[in-house]
Amino acid sequence: MARSRENTRARLLEAAHEVFAEVGLDAASVETICERAGFTRGAFYSNFESKDELFLALITQLSEDKLDEVSVRVKRLSGTEDPIDLVRQIADMSLAERMEPELLSEVRTQALRDPRLAEAFLAWRAQMLGRVETIIREVSELHGLPLRMPVADAAALLLDVSEQCSVQSALERLTERQANRAMQSRLEQIVPLLIASS
């Protein structure tokens, strides 16, 4: 029963990802998402209270998947004290990859109008910042790279830079490879500024 519910939820999230990417949050209807997933509205509402809840579940899943990949990559980094080399090793796993800037922009816009969605969005972002803090702390400790600022501030700065770079790349219609290069270049500029002189 639990596995069936998980499968239903996963298929709804996958269908929502496709529909939101095609038509946006406002234009996407619960009916269209259900039709794409092959389920009834009853199946939808047994898993999600609303389209907004589904949307937040989707961006949570996408960002968690990405941060899981980054965390695994961090544990495999070769020993080095050069922050630029560390950035280059992680760069192709950028924090914003697969997190379509259109989706994030839409939920942010909706959250500005809806206090309940704003609260949920801020909780999601706090959760993401916590994951980024853990990754930064691991890199700092493993490679002996003391920071100039608290880990929480460094995480917020890097997440902001990552999201903005992703948006800029989307606006410029860059390919995924070009977007990753742009992200790498920006991180190479920012990361050394975060590291305290030895």
Residue type, 83: P
User: What mean pLDDT comes out for the span 13-27?
Assistant: 88
DSSP state of 195: B
Q: What is the pLDDT of residue 81?
A: 65
Interval 136-151: pLDDT, tens: 898 888 888 899 999 9
Q: What is the pLDDT of residue 157?
A: 93
Question: Residues for the chain: how many in total?
Answer: 198
Q: Is the dihedral of CA 25, 26, 32, 33 positive or negative?
A: positive
As beta bridge partners, residue 147 has 195
Specify whether the CB–CB gap between 134 and 81 falls below 8 A: no
Q: What is the pLDDT of residue 78?
A: 67
Q: What is the pLDDT of residue 79?
A: 64
Specify whether the CB–CB gap between 30 and 49 falls below 8 A: no
User: What mean pLDDT comes out for the span 146-159?
Assistant: 93
Distances (CA, A) of 89 to 1, 129, 139, 142, 186: 42, 21, 12, 15, 14
Interval 42-55: pLDDT, tens: 999 999 999 888 98
Kindly indicate the confidence band of residue 95, based on its pLDDT and cuts at 50, 70 and 90. very low
Is 80 exceeded by the pLDDT of residue 173? yes
Interval 108-121: pLDDT, tens: 888 898 898 888 88
